[in-house]
Structure 1
Amino acid sequence: MRSFLYVLSALAVMGLAFWAYHENYKTQAALAEVERLQDDIAENRETLSILKAEWAYLNRPDRLRDLADLNFERLELMPLAPEQFGRVEEIAYPAPPVPEALEPIPLSFKERQEP
């Protein structure tokens, strides 16, 4: 009976060692994936900062003004002036839709007679 318990214990230890071995490699693979993703994020952030700098450079007001002047015949763009802006109160918003009555409401004119 003791030998059976020794064999069973040895098999349990080998099974746990096998499980720990696989978990160790899964953990190392997950850490490598996290490191790769962090490198990708850092690269994408760097690319984004470069693109933002290029966008700011291309949208300089003096450059845009020169481009508008060069293409005036084709685009007919005028420079912005304060008189071109309106107030929010001047905007004509559409009227909200009026909901339809589901059932007609009977009105009695006898009750509403004026003296």
Structure 2
Amino acid sequence: MKNFLYLLCCALVVGMAYWAYTENYRTQATAKRVQKLQQEIASEREAISVLKAEWAYLNRPERLRELADLNFETLGLIPLSSQHFGDTNLVAFPPRPTNLEIVNEPIAVQNSEGVE
């Protein structure tokens, strides 16, 4: 019986050592994966900041004004003036409802559970 108990304890120690060994390597692999993902995120953030800077550079008002002047006839642009804006009376708004009832007494309201 004593030998069986020793053998069982040895098997348990070997099993726990194997489990700790595999968990250690899984943890290291996961840490490497996390580090790789963090590097990818950092490079993508850097690319985004470069693209934002490029977008700001390309959308400078003086550059756009020069491009509009260079391509004025090609694009068929017209100079913006106050005559290009319409009046509000020219907008076709939907008709207003004519017969609205005036409520003088409180209305009972229930929620979805039927409680007032």
Judge same fold: TM > 0.5, yes or no: yes
Q: Equivalences for 1:1-115 in 2 at 5 Å?
A: 1-81=1-81, 84-85=84-85, 91-92=91-92
SS at match of 1:78: coil
Q: Could you tell me how far apart the structure 2 residues matched to 1:32 and 1:17 are?
A: 23
Task: Kindly provide the CA deviation profile for residues 45-84 of structure 1, in whole angstroms up to 9, marking residues without a partner as x.
Answer: 1111011001100111111111111111111123444654
- Stretches of structure 1 lacking an aligned partner (at least 5 in a row): 96-115
Hey, what's the Cα distance between the residues in 2 that align with 1:2 and 1:89?
Answer: 102
Unaligned runs of 5+ in 2: 96-116
Identity fraction in percent: 57
**Aligned Cα RMSD in Å?**
2.5
Structure 2 Cα separation of the partners of residues 54 and 34 of structure 1: 30
- 2:111 maps to which residue? none
- Tell me the TM-score normalized by structure 2: 0.70
- Larger relative contact order (C-alpha < 8 A, sep ≥ 6)? 1
TM-score by length of 1: 0.71
CA–CA distance in 1 between the matches of 2:94 and 2:41?
46
1: CA distance between counterparts of 2:73 and 2:91? 31
Question: 1:17–1:77: structure 2 CA closer, same or farther, 3 Å change rule?
Answer: same
